[in-house]
Structure 1
């Protein structure tokens, strides 16, 4: 029998961390952090008030939140910043209009209001820039994350050959912002570092969702109809891929790239999650190769540990011999899965070729797929509730 969440602690917001190693959950009463690999809660703060948006700065103790729900903990025009997971705030920012969305990325805080975007230096909350926008009532906005603090680093392969050194100083650390253009169906792309701006005519209809990949070189868009997901090169506006979602109009809950930008998962309100393999741009391919080698190594090291975890269902998949060569020819409709949920988000897990879905009913799903196959149904690894029993009726 399906359990139902108590209305007094209804989930208001779910969000993955940029590297998909953790996810956050904000409710009518508290905020929680979980690991995505084993669904383990590692932080809880009972605020006795509603929070409708929650962000954690990657690799830091900085979290930011806004009030919401039936009994908001904070006013809708205030943004609260906490440190060290304590209830006492570092500071708060007040705005003349309600905060619709915000992001923590690089060393910046980006706040989205209905008609403008404010960019702050996170360290001292100095206002760096205001971008005036057309009406953005839904707060549509996306920013690439600080993919690596490796813009000046080099990495060696397993061999000792100097020619095998990978230099990652290829502009991955540029901060790219995207938000709706005043022309219906168009998206503004803004490079904060170079101050260059361009617009892309992505769709004829109104845009319902946009998502940048980690490097910022690609952006995925979907219109209100959402028959197609389109992926563009953010440097020149070129249409790279057009992915068929379906034929009926559908609400898109989330679109997420994997860390290397070679995979995309699409979560629809009808409960279907689709996974596509995507050819990377030339700039991303070198970094993709390095990351996938590291992820394969990490997966191998964690294999024995994972078998002893909570999962009751185990599946066996073949060894992935050459993952970096799988998607060179373009896009592939790799896999799909369906859950009996409408309100949820989905993203790629930290383990190679895993998919995580978290729902507003408090459920956690983990799937695994084989990148060597096409149009396969994902194998389910784990399905469980992430809230304690006391939160359910």
Structure 2
């Protein structure tokens, strides 16, 4: 069970702060629930480091995302250029892939992808380790979980941070460590190793609990379409994924792979699902409504760890990153608007296939596999996550070594992508 505490009433609307906090290094301590391991909602008369005796009434409202809001960037700390770069603990894109968040051993930072620039950072004076930071589009509401050798918050708590007020406005507490958090405008999804909790964002009411197989990576994906919540998580069997269609109140189980699930991704509308296993050789695309296998593409022949999968906004392309140091882009034969269309034959000349496919009836399936259209080579050894950029035919790649790449691929001729931009987003810059 989760223990829940909320601070201030009502929740603030996520709007720009006309007077941003002049001291970004101030260490704000969020209150801790006095009712541990219970599903209880508390609200406090005023913010304090400890709960007060008599709570006020609580009537929060859904935090609406303001697309015009840009988090203010405080002045850089003194001697930034001489201080060593922080250790990166977490990176993740926001819901539309226009921004990304980085959790470090000192705090967190928010960056814009195109054009690339740091738009906000907060470093804490004591502790400061942030192992998970999840954005809500571009608004001032964030979900934070402690991490690293000196965590800012307990690893079993999700802190709801409002940077308009420069403080926490609520927390969710659990019996075990939080593995990941997903946000929608109307939901908060918290992933533990073997359980997932779904909360209503309006009042933080617990709506659903899901049991999963061991899920140390915190795998979970949610659609972002208005009014159509689709949630995907590991099932209770090896290689199985569970799809929750909340609008129709339907649950669909898909046996996606023989090996354990390593990674998956949803389209924005939740109609298409891409999955990979711990073998990392094949990626499969499913219709989430009926579990139909629509397409299967091959990353390579040897085993690999898949770090991330990402659909383009129109579901025409799929990007894959792995520990082999290569990002692949595949051409998809269906889009989410025609998820029920018939699978296209692998003999279609518009699909890249092996040159030995003419003997596919004799040799293994490997030789008739669909291969990537475009590739980009990276330095092996560092995990990378990938997303499609807002410019046409571009891909954004983020590395746990602090690297930021923006690349462009040729949708007709394919081949090696062209690098458009590179930045080290952890490098101290006076311009920030």
Q: Sort the TM-score into its range (normalised by shorter chain).
A: 0.7 to 0.9
Distance between the aligned counterparts of 1:76 and 1:7, measured in 2? Answer: 25
Residue pair 2:181, 2:191 contacting (<8 A) in 1 also: yes
Query: Which blocks of at least 5 consecutive residues in structure 2 are unaligned?
Result: 1-81, 340-349, 352-368
Give 2:115's aligned residue. 38
Give 1:383's aligned residue. 422
Distance between the aligned counterparts of 2:96 and 2:338, measured in 1? Answer: 16
- The structure with more radius of gyration: 2
Does residue 111 (structure 1) correspond to residue 190 (structure 2)? The answer is: yes
Deviation of 1:7 after TM superposition, in Å, equals 7.6
Q: Which has the higher strand share?
A: 1
Any residues of structure 2 matched to 1:153-302 within 5 Å, and which? 173-281=227-335, 283=337
Give 1:64's aligned residue. 143
Give 1:131's aligned residue. 210
Distance between the aligned counterparts of 2:84 and 2:233, measured in 1? Answer: 33
Q: How many aligned residue pairs are there?
A: 319
Moved more, 354-363 or 20-29: 354-363
Deviation of 1:218 after TM superposition, in Å, equals 0.8
Residue pair 1:278, 1:332 contacting (<8 A) in 2 also: no
Deviation of 1:21 after TM superposition, in Å, equals 0.7
Distance between the aligned counterparts of 2:290 and 2:236, measured in 1? Answer: 20
Give 1:26's aligned residue. 103
Q: CA RMSD in A?
A: 2.2
401, 408, 417: which one aligns with 1:368: 408
Deviation of 1:63 after TM superposition, in Å, equals 0.6
Give 2:396's aligned residue. 356
Residue pair 1:277, 1:331 contacting (<8 A) in 2 also: no
Distance between the aligned counterparts of 2:106 and 2:315, measured in 1? Answer: 36
Matched residue of 2:116: which SS?
A: coil
Deviation of 1:100 after TM superposition, in Å, equals 1.3
Distance between the aligned counterparts of 1:186 and 1:60, measured in 2? Answer: 34
Deviation of 1:388 after TM superposition, in Å, equals 3.4
Distance between the aligned counterparts of 1:127 and 1:361, measured in 2? Answer: 37
Deviation of 1:282 after TM superposition, in Å, equals 6.5
Matched residue of 1:58: which SS?
A: coil
Query: Which blocks of at least 5 consecutive residues in structure 1 are unaligned?
Result: 150-172, 286-325
Give 2:171's aligned residue. 92
Instruction: Give every structure 1 segment of 4 or more consecutive aligned residues whose post-TM-superposition deviation is greater than 6 Å.
Output: 5-8
Residue pair 2:190, 2:196 contacting (<8 A) in 1 also: yes
Residue pair 2:315, 2:336 contacting (<8 A) in 1 also: no
Q: Which has the higher helix share?
A: 1
Deviation of 1:85 after TM superposition, in Å, equals 4.7
